[in-house]
Amino acid sequence: MSHVLHSTELTVDLDNGKRLIFPELHLNKGELVLLQGASGSGKSTWMHAIAGLIPLASGSVHIEGQGSLQSGKKAPKQWRRNGLSFMPQRAFFWNSLSLKGNLDLAAWCKGLHVADADLDTLGLADKTSQAAHSLSLGEQQRVSALRSFLGNAPVLLADEPTASLDDSNAEALMTLFKEHAGDRAILVSSHDQRLAPFVDRILHLA
């Protein structure tokens, strides 16, 4: 397998003066990886650091074909547009937009003309004009996942996506990830033990 993402010597300085040091990370194409660790271990911070949402104190992240994110430097221009997709813990849908409007917004952010997300696969085709936040929590997270698939970035980082989901919804979401892992690498952070059976590999963050 070829490495799609490779990060080395990644460290992040927190506001409280504490420095988090993260291990080397490789993600391979077609791989669904679970990042496990206790609450407060820094899983989300690591995700944010890789996504370029928090400045790096040291180290670098390289995505094949997309360049490198390095400490002290701005993230490459297209880093979150073409390089990776980031799925936050909550969907953060825009209240003012419908379900389709939220997908259109995501497509617009990624420079796409249309949101080619297939809501039929989620059984939500008849809800496209509804306010996105009126969907159930499970549906919201699945739509959020579908939104992060837009643009076909080679890496998807999903931060605690199942934190508030019941078993069936968590299973549906992980199945969705599995189905879309074929041409990308997906890293899911969670302390949720239910996810282990769905993934190819598990990383532990102490």
Partner 1 sequence: MNALSFAFKALWHRKATSVFIALIWALGLLGLAVTSRLETNVEAQLTRTLEGTDLLVVAKGSPTQAILANVFHVDQATGNISRAEADKWLSHPDLRNVRRLAYGDNFQGVRILGCDSATWNHVPLRALEGRWPEAALEVVISEAVAQKSGLQIGDAFHGSHGTVDDLGDHDHHDYRVVGIASSPAPQWAEMIWTPLESVWAVHEDAPEEYTAVLAAIPNPMTRLMLPGQIQRTSSLMAISPAMEANRMVGWMNQGGAVLRLLSILLTVIAALSMFLLLQSHIRERLSDYALVRAMGGTWGQIAGLVLGQNLLLALLALGLTYMGLALALNLSSIWVPTGVLLYEDLWWNLGQDLPWIGLTLFLGLFAGLGPWIWLQKIPLHRALVDS
Binding site residues, partner 1, CB under 8 A: 44-45, 48, 51, 53-54, 78-82, 85-86, 88-90, 92, 94-97, 101, 104-111, 147-148, 151
Is the Cβ of residue 45 or residue 140 nearer to partner 1 in the bound state? 45
State the nearest-atom distance from the C-beta of 126 to partner 1, in Å: 21
State the nearest-atom distance from the C-beta of 174 to partner 1, in Å: 22
Contacts of 16 (CB under 8 A, 6+ apart): none
Q: Are 177 and 32 in contact (CB under 8 A)?
A: yes
State the nearest-atom distance from the C-beta of 72 to partner 1, in Å: 17
Is the Cβ of residue 61 or residue 199 nearer to partner 1 in the bound state? 61
How many Cβ atoms sit within 10 Å of the Cβ of residue 62? Answer: 17
Q: Is 56 helix (H, G, I), strand (E, B) or coil?
A: coil
Strands (E), the chain: 3-13, 19-21, 25-28, 32-37, 58-63, 67-70, 84-87, 155-159, 185-189, 201-205
Is the Cβ of residue 79 or residue 198 nearer to partner 1 in the bound state? 79
Is the Cβ of residue 48 or residue 199 nearer to partner 1 in the bound state? 48
